[in-house]
Amino acid sequence: MSTPDSPTWAAPNDVEEFKRQYEVDAADLFNNIAVLVQRIRLERDTSRTQLAATNETIDNLEEQVTRLNLDLNVARAAPAPTVSVPIAAAPPPTTVPAFRSEKFPDPEKFDGTHTKLPGFISWIE
């Protein structure tokens, strides 16, 4: 349905001018009113369609927010997942030779006796 082009209309400044403008031929007044009513209906219908689409979008977004909140609450309530962290294997023990040099053999292990401490220290120096 197409709306006819509205005739050029000079709006009256006051009621008296309005009466004079349409007193002779009221048909122009009714035609102008009909065109205005058609425009108002078209704009009303367009606005209703846009409003319905907007409401549907809002409903969809509210549903998505509700689902995300539920997922978040479930995630918060679930125990933290256990993550296995690989532990590096300890390096194999290094073998220490019985002595490091034939000229300077390793000293005997100090057993903690205080009387043997001066001799142990002098042997290390």
Task: Kindly list the domain boundaries of the chain, sorted by start residue.
Answer: 1-91
Question: How confident is the model at residue 92, as a pLDDT?
Answer: 72
Q: What is the pTM of this model?
A: 0.42
pLDDT digits (tens, 9 = 90+) for 38-77: 999 999 999 999 999 999 999 999 999 999 999 998 888 8
pLDDT at 2 over 60: no
* Mean pLDDT in residue range 85-95: 70
- DSSP for 39-88 reads HHHHHHHHHHHHHHHHHHHHHHHHHHHHHHHHHHHHHHHSPPPP-PPPPP
